[in-house]
């Protein structure tokens, strides 16, 4: 237990009592020094402790040893360790002592309740399945909870059958800034402590049952116009609430709220009455076991803070705790005893508060809460009042439960998307092979010993980068990057790329396989897949487990997307509706409205950097968005990077079989269609703007932005800034290409390196961030938070910086002026070596920590062979640490000269919300929507 410095305590302990009152022990505990505690009388100490500390915390403290009984250092250490098993003291990650028949569980299982895993126990399985406990366990008597005066335990109103309580009508919260309809049905029951194999079986069966419900509801997206946006059912223990909470959450467009509720409760009742099928139980059981096995293999890479959080949460709930490996062994022990009948019986109990709603003996929901907008947009009418009453919600729930139900048919799940015979035919037809990486030399593979990165290129033009790591045991990640992105949209096809990518993702079909079959194929093989786009690229990312040919399954899916993608009209309708809804929600968000106006002004109304407007969406067709996307999928415009715990033979076999057989064209004219991008020239009244939104709470935000070079030293005018540096610096100021300082550390000439602007601007961002925080927030007290971020492109010849400010209406204008002063003050208030060292240390520590993750390496590998990013090469990765260490203050000021901070280059927009607002944003001003908070952040998937 840590000791914090505190003044010595007087024998009478009045100072201690005063200190306890001042320190507010319900929030923070003031722990005295050991000599002071030993010198204090025991009785006053105990009185003060009992008055201020909660009963549970007192019991925990008493378990570590009474203050009056503290002996030597050895006894003190032994007392602290007494609550842990001996294995813990030897360094083994066993986490708690338990009776022979007790069952602990583990943490970190993403798709499974944390209580699903536990230790392999000395006791037999048969006894624990019946719930019997050993005599040792019976001796442990529960301590009656003491009622604490300041923060007493919550008196729950349980949602249990036969518990008499008055049913409350649904509560409705209505607000001007709410865009969509959402409703939550809550159920609260006591925590079922996971301590025996029987408890573990129950949790496993619930997970299987709820996994089936989640998949079934998602299949309702097959309809062209689904009535809901999402339906989710969560069943988990809450340490904060002190109970198990089950929540059904339904979100929908306001005009579809009745149908959305009906669909959700109808699916719940159907599952409750008919249960899961044998095929569903087998699929989800296998997926949960695979997930548990994967976690057990990663036992040495789970962060300590995650383990600590899990231990504290589990202990508060009364669960027994064990590590991941022992937990997986216990899960295997109970999995083979689970039957279909038991799964359906246990699962049905979880859903009774919904499926039996309205029946006399049904458990009542703890609460039903709907969050709805005050006004909605109606086609042809405009903004109208949205009216809803509790009785209407209740009637919709009952109506959905009364609709006829039918059992779920068994679905055939493919074991592979490409059969071996089909693969052999493709290989004979297309003859995949590795091609030369260079036109000058016949080099088919480049391997860098220092970084472990291998580079390949297929005969169809697709570039391959891969790195073998042991960061995550038997796990791999893969990313396909396609050059082009939204920058290829022209004035007649606004939004075609972003809507097209979403359409392809919404459809989810490949070849002759339906969306449901593809999803279940991914579930069986533990594959997570996403397809997205930004201003420069389209990218598809996979995460997969390597057991049971999981990597080949991921490559099969990628091959099918590239070769046999399916474009559906209903998926196009859903994608269009999504962006239409997103556009209309902009005026209801203070931050998005403010950033929206800023982006419109700064980029001279370039619609490629904002959400498509309804007018633009109406012009799009399924064929136009398909062409906009697929025209970018050509061989030499595609790069695939793979990182994971595989072998060279495994990855190269998959690459040849599934990517080498893709019939991709070898040439691309994407860059020729990119229209010029420019910033709004000065003077203009759009360099400073304001946004007003009516809200019950007064608040304010602001964004300040301006032009910057891209990551590789190109500016909006098409200037290569390296030429400017060379012409202005002169040979005398340029150091040798490589040298060493007195400590023997190597230094290189940062200014001649292709990553000069990426390195120096990152260091500048750290220094400016630190100055903004200490000056504008700490010293002047003008903001709640303030940050400086760079948005550096890789392919496009531009970039920008953004300062984000959160403040109050009365201080936001002063905060903006203060931020401008800090941004421009780097010449008057020179950067000192201490600031540079701190920035280097921060970035180097971050780099070192993140190199232990596969996702970070994917970012490092991005564009390594891309012709559109010619300055990215292996040295950018190898010399990254040395570049940071070699950068000087003079290098930073050289980059700062190309960061436009003068009044004619700055753009600012202030957003104010309050009961009395100024002129609000109108629909006419929303020519375009904002792409989330994209302009405020970085480039997402690329690191260099």
Query: Strands 537-545, 528-533: parallel, antiparallel or unpaired by DSSP?
Result: antiparallel
Judged against a pLDDT cut of 90, whether residue 1 lies above it is answered with no
Q: Helix (H, G, I), strand (E, B), or coil: what is residue 356? A: coil
CATH number of 420-667: 3.30.830.10
Give the HSE-up count for residue 362: Cα atoms under 13 Å, Cβ half-sphere. Answer: 17
Cα–Cα distance for residue pair 108/797, rounded to 1 Å: 42
Model confidence over 524-557: pLDDT tens digits?
A: 999 999 999 999 999 999 999 998 899 999 999 9
Residue extents of the structural domains in the chain: 14-83, 104-132+157-402, 420-667, 696-916
**DSSP assignment string, 813-879:** HHHHHHHHHHHHTTTTS---HHHHHHHHHHHHHHHHHHTTSHHHHHHHHTTTT-TTSTT--THHHHT
Model confidence over 289-320: pLDDT tens digits?
A: 989 998 898 888 888 888 899 889 988 899 98
Identical topology for domains 104-132+157-402 and 696-916: yes
Report yes or no: 573 and 224 within 8 Å, Cβ to Cβ. yes
The pLDDT score that the predictor gives to residue 939 is: 45
Assess whether the previous peptide bond of 683 is cis (omega < 30° from 0).
yes
Q: Helix (H, G, I), strand (E, B), or coil: what is residue 72? A: coil
Strand partners, 270: none
Cα–Cα distance for residue pair 567/503, rounded to 1 Å: 7
Query: Which has more pLDDT, 47 or 516?
Result: 516
Cα–Cα distance for residue pair 680/688, rounded to 1 Å: 12
Q: How many CB atoms lie within 10 A of CB 796?
A: 18
Torsion angle, alpha carbons of 617, 619, 623, 625, to 10 = -40
Model confidence over 589-624: pLDDT tens digits?
A: 999 999 989 998 999 888 899 888 899 999 999 999
Give the pLDDT band of residue 430 (cuts 50, 70, 90): very high
Residue 711, CA distances (Å) to 287, 658, 767, 938, 943 in order: 42, 33, 18, 11, 10
By the 10 Å C-beta count (0-12 exposed, 13-18 middle, 19+ buried), 787 is classed as middle
Tokens read off for 77: 């250490």
Give the pLDDT band of residue 3 (cuts 50, 70, 90): very low
Tokens read off for 250: 């339904």
The contacts of residue 402 (CB under 8 Å, 6+ apart) are: none
The pLDDT score that the predictor gives to residue 771 is: 98
Cα–Cα distance for residue pair 913/590, rounded to 1 Å: 7
Query: Strands 320-321, 104-105: parallel, antiparallel or unpaired by DSSP?
Result: parallel
The radius of gyration of the chain's CA atoms, rounded to the nearest angstrom, is 31
Q: Helix (H, G, I), strand (E, B), or coil: what is residue 194? A: coil
The pLDDT score that the predictor gives to residue 683 is: 83
Q: 104-132+157-402 sits in which CATH class? A: alpha beta
Q: How many CB atoms lie within 10 A of CB 559?
A: 23
Query: Strands 746-748, 738-740: parallel, antiparallel or unpaired by DSSP?
Result: antiparallel
Q: Where are the beta strands (DSSP E) in 209-366?
A: 230-238, 243-252, 320-321
The percent helix, strand, coil of the chain (3-state, each to 5) is 45, 15, 40
Helices (H) and strands (E) in the chain, counts: 32, 25
User: Domain 696-916 in CATH: superfamily?
Assistant: Metalloenzyme, LuxS/M16 peptidase-like (3.30.830.10)
Strand partners, 483: 537
User: How many residues belong to the chain?
Assistant: 944
The pLDDT score that the predictor gives to residue 39 is: 58
Judged against a pLDDT cut of 50, whether residue 137 lies above it is answered with no
Give the pLDDT band of residue 416 (cuts 50, 70, 90): very high
Query: Strands 799-807, 699-708: parallel, antiparallel or unpaired by DSSP?
Result: antiparallel
Tokens read off for 62: 């008493």
Cα–Cα distance for residue pair 212/217, rounded to 1 Å: 9
Give the pLDDT band of residue 725 (cuts 50, 70, 90): confident
Any idea what DSSP says for residue 31?
P
Give the pLDDT band of residue 802 (cuts 50, 70, 90): very high
Select from 761, 755, 709 the least CA-distant residue to 875. 755
**DSSP assignment string, 264-301:** HHHHHHHHHHH---HHHHHHHHHHHHHHHHHHHHTGGG
Cα–Cα distance for residue pair 578/580, rounded to 1 Å: 5
The pLDDT score that the predictor gives to residue 365 is: 94
Cα–Cα distance for residue pair 144/322, rounded to 1 Å: 26
The pLDDT score that the predictor gives to residue 217 is: 85
The pLDDT score that the predictor gives to residue 272 is: 95
Select from 510, 277, 518, 551 the least CA-distant residue to 415. 518
Report yes or no: 748 and 737 within 8 Å, Cβ to Cβ. yes
Select from 130, 125, 134, 143 the least CA-distant residue to 99. 134
Select from 364, 400, 358, 390 the least CA-distant residue to 261. 400
Query: Which has more pLDDT, 434 or 91?
Result: 434
Q: Please, which contacts does 54-57 make with residues 24 or more away whose CB atoms are closer than 8 Å?
A: 54/26, 54/148, 54/151, 55/145, 55/146, 55/148, 56/145
Helices (H), ranges, 466-567:
496-507, 515-524, 550-563
How far is CA 510 from its chain centroid? 27
Tokens read off for 547: 């057991």
Judged against a pLDDT cut of 70, whether residue 47 lies above it is answered with no
Report yes or no: 656 and 552 within 8 Å, Cβ to Cβ. no
Q: What angle do CA 207, 213, 217 make, to 5 degrees?
A: 150
Report the pLDDT averaged over residues 731-739.
46
The pLDDT score that the predictor gives to residue 610 is: 84
By the 10 Å C-beta count (0-12 exposed, 13-18 middle, 19+ buried), 364 is classed as buried
Cα–Cα distance for residue pair 157/155, rounded to 1 Å: 7
Tokens read off for 482: 């396609």
Select from 319, 330, 321 the least CA-distant residue to 201. 330
Judged against a pLDDT cut of 60, whether residue 684 lies above it is answered with yes
Model confidence over 744-795: pLDDT tens digits?
A: 556 688 999 999 999 999 999 999 999 999 999 999 999 999 999 999 999 9
Helix 833-850 to helix 889-896 angle, to the nearest 10 degrees?
Answer: 90
Report the pLDDT averaged over residues 843-850.
96
Give the HSE-up count for residue 204: Cα atoms under 13 Å, Cβ half-sphere. Answer: 34
The contacts of residue 862 (CB under 8 Å, 6+ apart) are: 479, 481, 639, 641, 794, 872, 941, 942, 943, 944
Cα–Cα distance for residue pair 345/848, rounded to 1 Å: 50
Average pLDDT of the chain is: 82
Cα–Cα distance for residue pair 649/473, rounded to 1 Å: 17
Tokens read off for 842: 């921060």
- The mean-pLDDT minimum among 73-77, 700-704, 817-821 falls in 73-77
- The mean-pLDDT minimum among 194-198, 674-678, 828-832 falls in 674-678
Query: Strands 453-457, 537-545: parallel, antiparallel or unpaired by DSSP?
Result: unpaired
Judged against a pLDDT cut of 60, whether residue 493 lies above it is answered with yes
Q: What angle do CA 488, 491, 492 make, to 5 degrees?
A: 100
The pLDDT score that the predictor gives to residue 649 is: 97
Cα–Cα distance for residue pair 327/370, rounded to 1 Å: 39
Q: 936: left (phi > 0), else alpha (psi -120 to 50), else beta?
A: alpha
Q: pLDDT > 70: what percent of the chain?
A: 77
Report yes or no: 755 and 944 within 8 Å, Cβ to Cβ. yes
Model confidence over 642-668: pLDDT tens digits?
A: 999 999 999 999 999 999 999 977 665
């Amino acid at each position: 237990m840590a000791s914090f410095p505190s003044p010595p305590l007087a024998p009478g302990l009045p100072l201690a009592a005063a200190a306890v009152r001042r320190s507010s022990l319900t929030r923070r505990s003031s722990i005295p020094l050991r000599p002071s505690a030993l010198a204090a009388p025991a009785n006053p100490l105990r009185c003060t402790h009992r008055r201020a500390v909660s009963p549970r915390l007192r019991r925990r403290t008493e378990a570590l040893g009474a203050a009056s009984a503290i002996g030597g250092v050895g006894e003190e250490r032994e007392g602290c360790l007494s609550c842990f098993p001996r294995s813990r003291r030897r360094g083994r990650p066993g986490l708690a002592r338990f009776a022979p028949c007790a069952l602990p569980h583990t943490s970190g299982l993403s798709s499974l309740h944390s209580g699903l895993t536990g230790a392999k126990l000395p006791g037999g399985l048969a006894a624990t399945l019946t719930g019997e406990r050993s005599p040792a366990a019976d001796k442990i008597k529960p301590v009656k909870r003491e009622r604490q005066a300041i923060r007493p335990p919550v008196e729950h109103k349980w949602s249990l059958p036969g518990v008499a309580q008055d049913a409350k009508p649904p509560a409705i919260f209505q607000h001007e800034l709410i865009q969509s309809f959402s409703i939550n049905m809550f159920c609260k029951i006591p925590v079922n402590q996971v301590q025996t194999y029987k408890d573990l079986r129950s949790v496993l069966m619930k997970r299987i049952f709820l996994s089936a419900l989640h998949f079934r509801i998602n299949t309702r997206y097959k309809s062209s116009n689904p009535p809901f946006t999402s339906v989710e059912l969560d069943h988990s223990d809450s340490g904060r609430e002190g109970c198990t909470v089950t929540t059904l959450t339904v979100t929908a467009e306001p005009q579809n709220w009745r149908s959305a509720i009906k669909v959700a409760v109808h699916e719940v009742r159907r599952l409750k009455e008919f249960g899961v099928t044998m095929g569903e139980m087998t699929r989800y059981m296998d997926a949960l076991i695979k997930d548990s096995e994967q976690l057990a293999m990663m036992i040495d890479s789970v962060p300590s803070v995650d383990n600590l959080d899990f231990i504290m949460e589990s202990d508060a709930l009364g669960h027994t705790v064990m590590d991941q490996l022992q937990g997986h062994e216990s899960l295997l022990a109970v999995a083979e005893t689970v039957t279909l009948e038991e799964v359906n019986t246990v699962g049905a109990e979880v859903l009774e508060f919904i499926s039996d709603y309205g029946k006399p003996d049904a458990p009542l929901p703890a609460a039903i809460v709907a969050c709805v907008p005050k006004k909605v947009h109606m086609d042809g009418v405009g903004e109208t009042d949205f009216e809803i009453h509790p009785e209407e919600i209740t009637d919709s729930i009952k109506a959905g439960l009364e609709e006829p139900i039918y059992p779920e048919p068994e679905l055939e799940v493919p074991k592979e998307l490409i059969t071996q015979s089909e693969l052999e035919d493709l290989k004979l037809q297309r003859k995949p092979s590795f091609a030369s990486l260079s036109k000058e030399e016949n080099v088919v593979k480049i391997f860098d010993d220092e970084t472990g990165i291998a580079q390949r290129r297929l005969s169809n033009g697709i570039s391959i980068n891969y790195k073998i790591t042991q960061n995550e045991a038997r796990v791999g990640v893969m990313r396909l990057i396609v050059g082009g992105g939204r920058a290829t949209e022209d004035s007649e096809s606004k939004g075609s790329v972003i809507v097209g990518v979403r359409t392809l993702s919404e459809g989810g079909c490949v070849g002759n396989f339906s969306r449901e079959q593809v999803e279940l194929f991914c579930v069986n093989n533990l594959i997570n897949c996403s397809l997205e786009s930004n201003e420069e690229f389209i990218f598809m990312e996979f995460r997969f487990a390597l057991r049971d040919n999981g990597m080949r399954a991921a490559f099969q899916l990628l091959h099918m997307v590239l070769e046999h993608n399916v474009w559906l009209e209903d998926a196009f309708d859903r994608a269009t509706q999504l962006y239409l809804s997103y556009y209309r929600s902009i005026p209801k968000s203070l931050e998005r409205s403010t950033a929206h106006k800023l982006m419109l002004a700064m980029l001279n109304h370039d619609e490629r950097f904002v959400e498509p407007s309804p007018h633009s969406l109406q012009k799009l067709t399924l064929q136009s968005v398909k062409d906009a996307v697929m025209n970018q999928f050509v061989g030499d415009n595609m790069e695939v990077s793979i990182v994971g715990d595989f072998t060279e033979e495994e990855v190269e076999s998959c690459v040849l079989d599934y990517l080498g057989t893709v019939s991709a064209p070898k040439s691309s004219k994407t860059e020729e269609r990119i229209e010029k991008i420019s910033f709004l020239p000065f003077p203009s009244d759009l360099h400073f703007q304001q946004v007003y939104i009516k809200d019950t709470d007064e608040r304010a935000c602001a964004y300040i932005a301006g032009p910057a070079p891209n990551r590789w030293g190109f500016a909006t005018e098409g200037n290569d800034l390296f030429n400017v540096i060379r012409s202005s610096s002169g040979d005398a100021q340029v150091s040798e290409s490589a040298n060493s300082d007195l400590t023997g550390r190597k230094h290189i000439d940062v200014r001649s390196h292709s990553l000069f602007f990426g390195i120096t601007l990152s260091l500048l961002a750290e220094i400016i961030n630190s100055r903004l925080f200490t000056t504008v927030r700490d010293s002047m007290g003008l903001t709640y938070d303030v940050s400086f971020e760079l948005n550096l492109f890789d392919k496009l010849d531009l970039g920008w910086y953004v300062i984000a400010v959160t403040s109050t209406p009365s201080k936001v204008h002063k905060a903006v002026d203060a931020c401008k002063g800090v941004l421009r003050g780097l010449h008057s208030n020179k950067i000192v070596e201490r600031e540079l060292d701190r920035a280097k240390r921060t970035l180097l520590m971050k780099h070192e920590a993140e190199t232990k993750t596969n996702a970070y390496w994917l970012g490092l590998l991005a564009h390594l062979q891309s012709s559109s990013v010619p300055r990215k090469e292996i040295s950018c990765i190898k010399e990254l640490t040395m570049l940071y260490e070699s950068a000087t203050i003079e290098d930073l000021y050289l980059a700062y000269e190309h960061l436009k901070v003068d009044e004619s280059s700055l753009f600012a927009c202030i957003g104010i919300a309050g009961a009395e607002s100024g002129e609000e944003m109108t629909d006419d001003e929303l020519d375009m929507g904002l792409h989330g908070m994209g302009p405020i952040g970085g480039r997402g998937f690329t690191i260099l």
